[in-house]
Structure formats: structure tokens, C-alpha cells
């Protein structure tokens, strides 16, 4: 196994809307999660069909009674959630030192991605490439976006290990011939990698 592919949200960077919303909107978190993060508008963002400001405007238009909460969410979700996960960062550095090639495959808008790569250049500079849903207009677990990754970087699925927080995304990876780790099921990523035959 030569190539290790990482998701971003929930794997490389924190992504937990439940915790964020409960912290500031206890008792109303489920409704706001549906309004923002589970909305069709947010899917447009992940697909690259609208940017963050456009999605914010659309959600505000559709939910005029929640303007204050929606604006707060958009003003603070990046700083509150999109922060590096220490355990994953340790694993990435160990993998790079051991000679593995690292890639990213993520459902994320390219603007959010490039902001994070700027803020955390030391981490993202360790990767050899990235495929983003916002640039490809295609979301995991659609096999098409995996094939884009394989073709762009000349990867052989059987040589790849994919780490994602979604069981559905890992299921697709395995169907395509990759190995997979569901990140949220593993508290110690380095230990999980070693069980997969990764030498660190």
C-alpha cells in the first residue's frame, strides 16, 4: 500500500455541527442544523454551484425569522469547527516521514479549502494532491469523484487506503478496490493504520 487518501471534515479538520450548534443554540440545534448544514443550499456549496456568501444569502432569504442565528453560524463555523485534529496531524507527519504519498478527497468548496491550506500550510504542504467536490461538481460517495482521483494522480485503487468519517464513502472506496478506515470508529489513527499493515 503506497498511497493514503484523507477526507478533510471529521478526519483532518474538526467538523461537528452538533457540538457547535449545541454550544450556542441549545434546544434549537437540530432545527438549525437542518436549515444550514443539511440544506439543499449547503449541498450547492459542496458541489461548487454557489460560494459561501451566496449560500448564506439564500438561506437567509428562505428563513427570515432566523437571521441572527444564521449570520452567527456563517460568521463563526470555520473558526469553531475547521481546526486540525491533533491525532490525524501526528499520523500524517508519520506517514510522510515513512515515505507514503498523501492525497485529499473531500466534499468541500474550494474557497474553504484554500483558506484552510493558507492557515495550516505546514500540514497541507505534506499532500501531493487533492480532489475537491466543489471543483469537480460531484460528491462522495458517487464513484465518479473517486475515478477522478485515480486518473488525475495515476493511482491504482488496490494500492490506496482511504480515511473518511462516513461509512457510505468508505463503502464506495472498498467497492472500487481501495482499503478503508472509518475515522470516527478509531480514536487512535496511528494504531488503526498499523493494523492495516502500514509501517510507521
pLDDT tens, position by position, 46-94: 999 999 999 999 999 999 999 999 999 999 999 999 999 999 999 999 9
* CATH number of the domain bearing residue 125: 3.40.50.1000
Concatenate the DSSP letters of all residues of 87-142 into one string. HHHHHHHHHHHTT-EEEEEE---HHHHHHHHHHTHHHHTT-SEEEEHHHHT--TT-
Is 55 a member of any domain? yes
Q: Do residues 58 and 156 share a domain?
A: no
pTM of the model: 0.95
Given this model, what pLDDT does residue 187 score? 78
Is 186 a member of any domain? yes
Q: Do residues 32 and 54 share a domain?
A: yes
> How many Cα neighbours within 13 Å face the side chain of 198?
30
Scanning the structure block, which residue is given the C-alpha cell 472506496?
A: 173
Q: Do residues 77 and 91 share a domain?
A: no
Cell reading at 84: 486540525
Amino acid at each position: 500500500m503506497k498511497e493514503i487518501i484523507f477526507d478533510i471534515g471529521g478526519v483532518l479538520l474538526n467538523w461537528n455541527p452538533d457540538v457547535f450548534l449545541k454550544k450556542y443554540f441549545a434546544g434549537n440545534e437540530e432545527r438549525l442544523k437542518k436549515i444550514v448544514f443539511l440544506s439543499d443550499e449547503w449541498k450547492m456549496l459542496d458541489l461548487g454551484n454557489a460560494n459561501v456568501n451566496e449560500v448564506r444569502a439564500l438561506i437567509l432569504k428562505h428563513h427570515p425569522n432566523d437571521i441572527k442565528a444564521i449570520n452567527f453560524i456563517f460568521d463563526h463555523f470555520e473558526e469553531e469547527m475547521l481546526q486540525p485534529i491533533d491525532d490525524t496531524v501526528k499520523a500524517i507527519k508519520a506517514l510522510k516521514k515513512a515515505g507514503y504519498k498523501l492525497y485529499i478527497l473531500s466534499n468541500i468548496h474550494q474557497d474553504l479549502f484554500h483558506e484552510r491550506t493558507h492557515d495550516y500550510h505546514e500540514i497541507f504542504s505534506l499532500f501531493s494532491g487533492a480532489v475537491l467536490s466543489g471543483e469537480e461538481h460531484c460528491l462522495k460517495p458517487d464513484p465518479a469523484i473517486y475515478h477522478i482521483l485515480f486518473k488525475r494522480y495515476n493511482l491504482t485503487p488496490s494500492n490506496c487506503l482511504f480515511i473518511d468519517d462516513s461509512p457510505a464513502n468508505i463503502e464506495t472506496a472498498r467497492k472500487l478496490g481501495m482499503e478503508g478506515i472509518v475515522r470516527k470508529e478509531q480514536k487512535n489513527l496511528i494504531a488503526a493504520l498499523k493494523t492495516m499493515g502500514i509501517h510507521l
